[in-house]
Amino acid sequence: MLSPEDWMDVRSLHRNGVSIKEIARQTGYSRNTVRRLLRQPAPHPFHKTPRRCCLDPFKPYLQQRCLEADLSGVRLLEEIAAMGYTVSVRASAW
């Protein structure tokens, strides 16, 4: 992931007359990456798409139960299994 500072460094080097090949050599980026950065009018922020989790439907319940009582994960798993949670302990550990 390239930071806005990296984008600014590449733009600054190019503005000072440094060739794309030399910018690539100095920064360690490929020439294609340098070209892509030079074509961008502004640095693109990184957007990570949030992934769904099999525990998402049970999170409010689990948070409430953790506040009410100091329960172990095994006990909480038993409670949400009764509510319809079907993933095994081994699969949920990954």
For CA atoms 82, 88, 93, 94, give the dihedral sign: negative
Its pTM stands at: 0.50
Tell whether 63 and 35 lie within a shared domain. Answer: no
Whether residue 44 is contained in a domain is answered as no
| Number of domains observed in the structure of the chain | 2
User: Is the residue at 77 inside a domain?
Assistant: yes
Q: What is the pLDDT of residues 51-78, one digit of tens each?
A: 888 888 999 999 898 888 888 888 888 8
Range of the domain at 75: 56-92
Is the Cβ–Cβ distance between 20 and 31 less than 8 Å?
yes
Identify the sign of the CA torsion 69, 72, 75, 76. positive
Q: Is residue 46 a part of any domain in this protein?
A: no
CA distance 21 to 38: 13
Percent of the chain residues topping a pLDDT of 90: 41
- The answer to whether position 19 is within a domain reads yes
- In a domain, residue 8? The reply is yes
